[in-house]
Structure 1
Amino acid sequence: MGNLAAQVIIYNNSSKTDKPFTYLIEDRMKDNIQEGMRVAVPFGVGNRIIQGIVVRIFEWKDKTKNLKCIADALDFEPILSKNMIELSLWMRENYLCSYLDAFHLVMPPGDFKEIRTVLNVNNVSLKNLTKEEEKIVGYINQKGKCYLDDVKKFMDHENANKIINNLKKKNIVYNTLEIETKINKKLEKYISLSSNQSKDDILKDISSRGKKQIEVVNYLYKKKGAFIKNLMEDTKASYQTIKALADKGLIKVTETEVFRNVIKSDISPYKRFKLTPEQLKCFNTILDDINKNGSFLIHGVTGSGKTEIYLQIIEEMIKAGKDTIVLVPEISLTPQTIERFVGRFGSNVAVLHSKLSYGERFDEWRKIKEGKVKIAIGARSAVFAPFNNLGLIIIDEEHETSYKSGMNPKYSAYEVARKRCDMEGSSLILGTATPSVETYNSVLNGEIKLFVLKKRINNKKMPVMDIIDMREELNNGNNSIFSRKLYKEIEENLKEGKQTILFLNRRGYSTFVSCRKCGYVIKCKSCDITMTYHIQENKLKCHYCGKEMIAPKICPKCGSNYIKYFGIGTQKVEEQVKKYFPKASVERMDTDTVTKKGSHERIFGRMKRGETDILIGTQMISKGLDFPNVTLVGIIAADTSLNLPDYRSSERTFQLLTQVAGRAGRGDFEGRVIVQTYNPEHFSIQMAKDYNYEGFFDREILLRKEFEFPPFTNILSIIVYGKEKEQVINVSKDIHSEIIKNLELIYDYNLIRNIYGPNPALIEKIKDNYRWQILFKCSDEDLFQLKDIIRRVCINNRDDKKYRGVKFNIDINPSSIL
């Protein structure tokens, strides 16, 4: 048998190192190295020790090649399963990202290991040293513990590595590795009585004046031990009291690991509901097929009880010893989702989302990895939860665009979930009232099994939706942001003690600021976008890069004082509501009000308890939230998403209207929805009015086919961006030309014909970076070939001098082409 070797992905971002490197595994380490473990390896000419991940172990038979050896193992057991390694390799190919980007998604969150080389001097004779060698040895001896990086800085010599290696060969210097984990397990002091003596025997050693010490001993005797924090809170004892008992040897103090708590402890049990005949049919059919690696879509109107079906299917998965991942689209959904799942399954639930600290995410990840829980709930990245026996993935509100990553790798959580289910023999359940066009097309093609829930629980009626033409309101002299109908309905709702939700998918106060004299519009200097006025801070803010400026009182261009604020955002809606309804309790929920940790939960809690009369918000409030006392929903401007220059704008409008409308009438009272629009005849608004998804789909799918948009074609977007505009333009033209040349070699005329650009991106400048875009349309068959060409042209050459200063943003089937 030959030597064992490992393929290692190293932690280096250069395109030249974006490949597996082969290292030998020495005999002494054969039992310590496994696939999926992190290792320390020597790399480059200077053999700098860096971190890597082992993705494959195999027999090495080539005796002619001298390979370096793995220096050390950084884990005691694999942190990645073979399936997760395979999933990462698939993502690299599918989403045109680097190995490192793909593996970063599946690694323990926050568990960064820093490797530093420590140099030490052996106790040997120090004869025949050069001046440089003497200098290094003296420096190490002086410091005692010395890092390699510090020695090299001290030497400031181009041959520092060579000199140190010579000292190692002479056995004068040796090195060790120091591995530091950035996120550590949380430890707390645990206090217990130090012996099994009776309480009376222990108390003999305490003076009668030590009343607080006696109280502590009585407490510990009764509780059999306690964490120091709880002990001090319950007995009001000081640290000095506890220390005095420890000094006498009466108590012992140990460090015990505790998990950081991310779930509230006061969640009430969530009772199990009897399924309706419609729900039961869906539940039984899915259960019959769930072990066949199937994909299912539960297309249920809002309030039809999809969550209860999820919960009862998960109960069956737990009985079978299987694990479940539940994806929800946004952090704003998690308070209610967590309450329901924890209320049903208790400590069997872990939570993963971006609002957790690194330490909290690390603890939740370990709970899953160590089999301490059977359910993981979270946003997009929870699809990588490291379960060892995954049986089911549920994607709630599957139509949401937040399931598509905007950062590299630009993965689709739905595609990753489908791939993971294929690999692990698991099933996939999608749920929504408004399926994406692509998902519903897959249903019609027989790829996904459909279940339809047409009725709300207890046969509650869907809220009646009134479409208000704001052009008529304007013609009749109403300049308010509220139509007369909406104003009257809010007034009635307040009188009846019912709650109202007002929706506008635009935050801030005014959407842009302009001079009425010269027409100048204030834009962000770093982005090609107008700045939004925020009244509370009296500032203009860019919603792309975050830059702020004090709102001007005179025009920066012509000097006039004819500055006017145009458009409306949620802040202005809030101001107007408080003006017209001064006695109402008003709350706003948007990105500006939920920046602090726990703010979602607090707003949600006040609304749930009935302390809020009117909730104003962006798309955060458009789905999933279930407030029984909400009987009125007002959509301030239905055209916000409809007017975007994107092929998905009609679909998004239909989805938003339907989802927001679904917040009304979920309790014992019927709901009403008022939709204000300047385009009432548009088919997406008319179909939403009647909750007619099939009618909307039939119209929309014809348009997609006619103009060759997904699901009939794939779209691949390349955005070239950088600080120098001319360079961005030249590189865009250069890579366009290179791609055309490669395509001409394979004589694929259709692919050449379906290239658009290079052109300035719709938003040409963001964060001081100029942006040019090339768009491709191609079939599934051609996509693999096109990705291969783009990898060669853009990714493998990204470190070339001619591309220095620019970057490439590559997205396959982006959620938006803006």
Structure 2
Amino acid sequence: MVGSPESKRYVEVIIDTAVRDLDRPFTYELPAEISAGVQVGSMALVPFNNRLSLGYVVGFPPRSDLSRIKSVSRIVDEPPLFDFDSMRLCKWIASHYLCPLSRSFHLVVPPGRSRKVKQLVSLAVRARDALIAVAGDDAAVKVVNELNSAGELDIDALKKLIGAGPAVTGVKSMEEKSLVKRRFALTRPAANARTRLVVHATPVASDWNAINKLPGRQREIVDELIARGGVEFQSDLLQSVGASHASLKSLAKKGVLEIAGEEVLRQPWLGASSGGAVRHKPNARQQAAIDRVSTVIEEGRHKVFLLEGVTGSGKTEVYIHSIEKALEKGKQAIVLVPEISLTPQTVERFESRFPGDVAVLHSRLGPGERFDQWRGARDGRYRVVVGARSALFAPLANIGLIVIDEEHEPSYKSDTSPRYNARDVAVVRARMAGAVVILGSATPCLESVERARAGLYERLELPKRIDNRPLPEVEIVDMRETGGAGEVPLLSRRMLDALSRAVEAGDQAILFLNRRGFSNYMQCRACGQIMGCDDCEVSLCYHSRGNMMLCHHCGMRRNVPPACPSCGGGPMKQFGAGTQKVEEELMKHVPGVTCIRMDADSTTTKDAHWRLLGKFRAGEAQVLIGTQMIAKGLDIPSVTFVGVINADTALALPDFRASERTYQLLTQVSGRAGRGLRPGLVVIQTFNPDHPTIKAMTGGTGTFIEAELESRSRANYPPFVDLVNVMVTSPEIAAASRSAERMRHILDTDLDGTGAIILGPAPAPLSRLRGLYRWHILVKSADLDKISDRLITAVGRFYDYSRTFPPGKSVKVSLDVDPVSLL
């Protein structure tokens, strides 16, 4: 009997697709046989556009007014991927960052548990018959040949083999002739729960009369098991006793013990804690900050604190005491750090204070490790989650505190859709949960400074280092005066003298250069040709390890040519310097010095950050050379000297944040010196000693910040307006430029009357990246909410226009709200 409309159940599903036109709920009937346990966040397999697609359940409408409605094919056998609160947060992210809702759901899906529907195609007839039937159809012939060779192919793999256009048109024409057949398959998740066999002692194991009658090896097993508390992993128990599986099985048959598979959580971090939990008595300033945060946590209300403290002022201790207060109130906490390299150090410190209560989440973990840490947080096994940007979405049900350490860092901004900023999303998540946020930094971003001045954030200050230790002395070396008539040295005499003194005194030093590789580029001295990337509008960097040239944007590698490819002259000359060259120069000028280089090249393997930093902290090297990953968060008391090889690398970038970024980076890396009992020294090499940013390093920080804010205000840049970067990309330069002009015309029409300021179009500073030409348009608005819907409509209108393009003229438009870089 067919159920009445009133007895039927319906669900609203968001299809898992990046297509903006499909970014809305679709209603499906939910068959009774699969309806049990379906909740918001359940993953559903549904028919859509003549294929099966994955989607997310977001609601349960009481009825459907549609005359024809399709049914859900299957509920993927998982617990719900997210709950109602996570859905609210994802909706805010989709709305603010102007991205499809399904893209924001990816942020809260358990790590390693995302699935895809593969569309598989195979021949329905013999290949010979198919070739006869498609004679003259080049695309279909290609499809037949590939399917005949492979047997069955994923449609995406077929597109890569013969091109997207021929694959789609070829398969479609063959389907019309019943020459191919399709099927759909759900991919397996990358991570699953891990189980291990565990041995449990039964009450019989306590009956010594029965145990004494057992054979000697079996008695040893029982004795060892009892000594370990009556429970142990099977493999560990057998290894410790040296017994066989047969002995264990015999004991199980006799009822002395039981063997069962149990889930275990994989622990990702390496090494043991450097010591027990060390509790520091907060100084007066720290205690005042702790008391203020604790009061708000006690009251159970939402508030954002901007904790501005000089490097070495003890901000982490404020974090820890605040977390203790949150846990005391039965709440949970999230701590974000900007660099994966800082995660092990931070985890070690927090684990020592909250033993067994800390989970870690970041992208360098294996899929299984991330999944287990995520599950542990969801199930309440961990109350504190530490990690990089993605840790913000840890499934904690009762958040009381979110800490964003080094809140100014651009790494908190995602460079793929959804292009969210974890700092701002953290404030929203905390507001929804009634939780407290601490934004900590020695150099807070200007957006946070301005919000604190406006009263949106409460400012807490730590103006001095712990125990009133002095900040390091900063010296500026004018590199224009170091070369004389010859070539300018990489390491000035002052830099080498200060470094040598630190090493001779038994101290450690850090050398900072925010460029990896050996040389910035290679150029022919005869014709001036610079070796560039084929797919990006950038030069290739020379790497001495492997004697190769590498693009730092797309990863393209090329061997060093023996002669110039353009004029035949040679050999090519190296210009500029990277961390590899710093390492070579250091060994040349300070013989016998031991050093560790830490950059993207030396940290490619899992846990490399932890191992390298561990060696340096243990004193196995005297000098640490690195890029920005060593510029922040490191607390190594024996470091008394920091050398900045080139302070100018980012100053000339065509980005309104260039001065602010340089100031932040220089202040952070300088703060690594003198954190112990011995005073610190920083030597900064520059060709622009009179630049306001460089001058601010020896005093006048307040003047620098005021000048930056005044400049931003006059030019209408954040924090005084909202900014959206509209990026138009295409593999063809003409298509990119024409499309950008068309997009500007649409924006002029759709944003008319809103007060928005539109700049461009113009080629992006990185005008070609990974094979795509890039043009951008900047939109400034005093009220983003006022123009959000219009921006999405404008993009939709552009894609309507793009459908008139000839085949192959691929053009894409992306929206980056609150961009941290305009490159």
Does TM, normalized by the shorter one, top 0.5? yes
SS in structure 2 of the partner of residue 576 of structure 1:
helix
Offset at residue 245 of structure 1 (A)? 6.3
Structure 2 gap ranges (5+)? 1-5, 121-151, 156-170
Residue in 2 that maps onto 1:98: 100
Contact 2:667–2:697 (CA under 8 A) maintained in structure 1: yes
Residue in 2 that maps onto 1:720: 728
CA 1:553/1:800 → structure 2, altered by over 3 Å: closer, same or farther? same
What is the distance in 2 between the residues matched to 1:33 and 1:69? Answer: 14
Residue in 1 that maps onto 2:234: 228
What is the distance in 2 between the residues matched to 1:478 and 1:177? Answer: 63
State whether structure 2 residue 814 is matched by structure 1 residue 805: no
What is the distance in 2 between the residues matched to 1:57 and 1:161? Answer: 41
Which of the residues 283, 288, 293 maps onto 1:286? Answer: 293
State whether structure 2 residue 780 is matched by structure 1 residue 773: no
Residue in 2 that maps onto 1:266: 272
Residue in 2 that maps onto 1:356: 365
What is the distance in 2 between the residues matched to 1:557 and 1:457? Answer: 59
Residue in 1 that maps onto 2:568: 559
Residue in 1 that maps onto 2:22: 17
Structure 1 gap ranges (5+)? 119-146, 165-174
Which of the residues 379, 391, 406 maps onto 1:397? Answer: 406
What is the distance in 1 between the residues matched to 2:790 and 2:656? Answer: 22
State whether structure 2 residue 539 is matched by structure 1 residue 539: no
Contact 1:49–1:116 (CA under 8 A) maintained in structure 2: no
Residue in 1 that maps onto 2:282: 275
CA 1:554/1:599 → structure 2, altered by over 3 Å: closer, same or farther? same
CA 1:677/1:246 → structure 2, altered by over 3 Å: closer, same or farther? same
What is the distance in 1 between the residues matched to 2:425 and 2:111? Answer: 18
Residue in 2 that maps onto 1:88: 90
Deviates more, 1:797-806 or 1:698-707: 797-806
Deviates more, 1:694-703 or 1:661-670: 694-703
Offset at residue 215 of structure 1 (A)? 3.9
What is the distance in 1 between the residues matched to 2:498 and 2:728? Answer: 50
State whether structure 2 residue 37 is matched by structure 1 residue 32: yes
State whether structure 2 residue 675 is matched by structure 1 residue 671: no
Cα deviation code 1:482-541 (max 9, x no counterpart)? 111111111111111000000000100000111111111111111110000101111110
CA 1:376/1:442 → structure 2, altered by over 3 Å: closer, same or farther? same
SS in structure 2 of the partner of residue 269 of structure 1:
coil
Offset at residue 227 of structure 1 (A)? 1.1
SS in structure 2 of the partner of residue 574 of structure 1:
helix
Which of the residues 468, 471, 485 maps onto 1:459? Answer: 468
Contact 1:554–1:563 (CA under 8 A) maintained in structure 2: yes
Contact 1:301–1:454 (CA under 8 A) maintained in structure 2: yes
Which of the residues 447, 462, 467 maps onto 2:456? Answer: 447
What is the distance in 1 between the residues matched to 2:627 and 2:153? Answer: 53
Offset at residue 559 of structure 1 (A)? 1.3
What is the distance in 2 between the residues matched to 1:111 and 1:200? Answer: 51
Number of residue pairs the alignment of both structures matches? 764
What is the distance in 1 between the residues matched to 2:801 and 2:36? Answer: 39
State whether structure 2 residue 502 is matched by structure 1 residue 493: yes
What is the distance in 2 between the residues matched to 1:181 and 1:484? Answer: 57
Contact 1:327–1:396 (CA under 8 A) maintained in structure 2: yes
Residue in 1 that maps onto 2:388: 379
Residue in 1 that maps onto 2:344: 335
Offset at residue 614 of structure 1 (A)? 0.4
Offset at residue 758 of structure 1 (A)? 2.1
Contact 1:112–1:183 (CA under 8 A) maintained in structure 2: no
Residue in 1 that maps onto 2:437: 428
What is the distance in 1 between the residues matched to 2:529 and 2:22? Answer: 49
SS in structure 2 of the partner of residue 382 of structure 1:
helix
Residue in 2 that maps onto 1:707: 715
CA 1:559/1:182 → structure 2, altered by over 3 Å: closer, same or farther? closer
Deviates more, 1:221-230 or 1:88-97: 221-230
CA 1:265/1:622 → structure 2, altered by over 3 Å: closer, same or farther? closer
State whether structure 2 residue 589 is matched by structure 1 residue 580: yes
SS in structure 1 of the partner of residue 277 of structure 2:
coil
Residue in 1 that maps onto 2:139: none
SS in structure 2 of the partner of residue 632 of structure 1:
strand
What is the distance in 1 between the residues matched to 2:577 and 2:77? Answer: 54
> Within 5 A, what are the aligned runs for 1:138-153?
none
CA 1:77/1:512 → structure 2, altered by over 3 Å: closer, same or farther? closer
SS in structure 1 of the partner of residue 483 of structure 2:
helix
Contact 1:515–1:564 (CA under 8 A) maintained in structure 2: yes
Which of the residues 49, 69, 94 maps onto 2:71? Answer: 69
SS in structure 1 of the partner of residue 778 of structure 2:
strand
Contact 1:705–1:712 (CA under 8 A) maintained in structure 2: yes
Give identity over the alignment, percent.
38
Which of the residues 5, 10, 13 maps onto 2:10? Answer: 5
Contact 2:400–2:436 (CA under 8 A) maintained in structure 1: yes
Which of the residues 216, 220, 230 maps onto 2:221? Answer: 216
Offset at residue 203 of structure 1 (A)? 6.2
CA 1:181/1:633 → structure 2, altered by over 3 Å: closer, same or farther? closer
SS in structure 2 of the partner of residue 256 of structure 1:
strand
Contact 2:361–2:386 (CA under 8 A) maintained in structure 1: yes
Amino acid of the structure 2 residue aligned with 1:270: A
C-alpha RMSD over aligned residues:
3.1
Offset at residue 250 of structure 1 (A)? 6.5
Residue in 2 that maps onto 1:696: 704
Cα deviation code 1:182-216 (max 9, x no counterpart)? 4211011223457715466356453x6xx5x5543
Contact 1:714–1:783 (CA under 8 A) maintained in structure 2: no
The alignment's TM-score, normalised by the length of structure 2, stands at 0.87
Residue in 2 that maps onto 1:58: 61
What is the distance in 2 between the residues matched to 1:756 and 1:178? Answer: 45
What is the distance in 1 between the residues matched to 2:707 and 2:186? Answer: 63
What is the distance in 2 between the residues matched to 1:775 and 1:714? Answer: 10
CA 1:453/1:807 → structure 2, altered by over 3 Å: closer, same or farther? same
Offset at residue 475 of structure 1 (A)? 2.7
CA 1:509/1:243 → structure 2, altered by over 3 Å: closer, same or farther? farther
Residue in 2 that maps onto 1:190: 198
SS in structure 1 of the partner of residue 499 of structure 2:
helix
CA 1:449/1:663 → structure 2, altered by over 3 Å: closer, same or farther? same
SS in structure 2 of the partner of residue 600 of structure 1:
helix
State whether structure 2 residue 795 is matched by structure 1 residue 787: no
Cα deviation code 1:320-353 (max 9, x no counterpart)? 0111111110101111111111010011111110
The alignment's TM-score, normalised by the length of structure 1, stands at 0.87
State whether structure 2 residue 739 is matched by structure 1 residue 731: yes
Cα deviation code 1:108-150 (max 9, x no counterpart)? 11113467999xxxxxxxxxxxxxxxxxxxxxxxxxxxx9999
Cα deviation code 1:275-322 (max 9, x no counterpart)? 100111111112223433111100000000000000001000001011
State whether structure 2 residue 328 is matched by structure 1 residue 326: no
Cα deviation code 1:553-590 (max 9, x no counterpart)? 32111111252111010000001111122221110010
Offset at residue 729 of structure 1 (A)? 2.3
Cα deviation code 1:230-287 (max 9, x no counterpart)? 2244234456765676688875432111011113462233312111001111111122
Amino acid of the structure 2 residue aligned with 1:720: V
CA 1:738/1:508 → structure 2, altered by over 3 Å: closer, same or farther? same
Amino acid of the structure 1 residue aligned with 2:764: A
Amino acid of the structure 2 residue aligned with 1:602: R
Cα deviation code 1:702-757 (max 9, x no counterpart)? 111122211122221122222222222222222222222333xx445x43xx3222
Deviates more, 1:326-335 or 1:781-790: 781-790
Contact 1:498–1:630 (CA under 8 A) maintained in structure 2: yes
What is the distance in 2 between the residues matched to 1:514 and 1:399? Answer: 37
Cα deviation code 1:156-186 (max 9, x no counterpart)? 865989999xxxxxxxxxx999895442110
Deviates more, 1:52-61 or 1:213-222: 213-222
